[in-house]
Amino acid sequence: MKVLFLCTANSCRSILSEAIFNALAPKGMRAFSAGSHPKGEVNPLALQALLDAGFDVDGLYSKSTDAHQALAPDIVITVCDNAAGEACPVFFGPATRCHWGLSDPSEVNGSEAEIDAAFAATIQQIQTRVSALIALPFTQLDSDALKAELNRIGSL
């Protein structure tokens, strides 16, 4: 199973999601990330937050959706924050799509402790959602039930 996490810049939330999913997922499940307008570099605070939380950052880089043209993901999850007025990338293809809106911790202004707390909270929220996703009984879910479960997980 291949999961593609999409955001606009592919520098923070989608990168965090890719790294966390790949750390938690069992063999046979793999995450990728991309952006509709990639920044070209991963936010250094995102990389540090992943390291601080015990996640591997090797191989993470900001990339366009073009980098995954031949991927054929099973699930595509957008992680932009609609509440902040962000436009989520559109993915065309047969994948099951859902939206897991996440506030962007890299947009937090405040002390170093407040920024660190925002990243830690985002990582925790992603861990909760990814854990719920990988625990799904995929063989027992038709496409409608899977979509409903993914949407439910997006509210966790």
Q: Which residues are catalytic?
A: 7, 80, 88
Which tokens belong to 131? 């854990």
Write down the residue that tokens 């750390």 correspond to.
Answer: 23
Write down the residue that tokens 């015990």 correspond to.
Answer: 54
Write down the residue that tokens 């039930």 correspond to.
Answer: 145
Write down the residue that tokens 């962000």 correspond to.
Answer: 86
Which tokens belong to 92? 């065309």
- Residue 93: partners with Cβ closer than 8 Å, 6 or more residues away: 72, 73, 76
